[in-house]
Structure 1
Amino acid sequence: MAADRPKALVTGASGNVGSCVVRRLVQRGDDVRVLLRKGSSTKGIDGLDVETFYGDVFDSEALAKAVADRDVVYYCVVDTRAELRDPAPPHSITSST
């Protein structure tokens, strides 16, 4: 891999947002590494020239290995459970009929 290419890590690369980011980075020529959990679908990134690391963003050791030598990290993990304190909808729609 060319030394002058930006080195990116994408977490959440198996999801909709993450796979879009990965495809765009690969398209522009970046050196892309992805961090995936074992068993994650790779449908959105199959066939792309990426380096795959397996682990979880909550595993400090795995994350440290994945981020090693990267210039930039794209955090594309979308999981509202980390901040979801009240599962009730934030608003409701009522009918006046």
Structure 2
Amino acid sequence: MENNSTNTPTREFVWKINKAPKMKSKTATTDQKNIRELVEKQFQNMSMVLFNKINTLENEIKTIKNRNTQLEQQISNTTFQDTNHSIYDPWYL
């Protein structure tokens, strides 16, 4: 097998450096203000979404805790009778 990279001529890239740019950009102050406003609005929106989700999660936790205490009270109020009798029931029937 021949190595083709040795037979091909090398390419040279020439970079031109211009003293003055061909195109001028807009002023940075107006762009920065617009970007800052967009970022602040997006941050406020995301903050509100996060705040709402945290509130809903806290409410769900409260309802779960309330339900848990209700269930614990129900368990503590129920009396078990003949608990020993259930031990002697044949498990294989």
Which of these two proteins has the greater Rg computed from alpha carbons? Answer: 2
Common fold, TM-score beyond 0.5?
Answer: no
Which has a greater percent of strand? 1
Larger helix share, 1 or 2: 2
Bin for the TM-score computed over the shorter chain? under 0.3
Q: TM-score, normalised by structure 2?
A: 0.20
The one of the two structures with greater contact order (alpha-carbon pairs below 8 A, sep at least 6) is 1
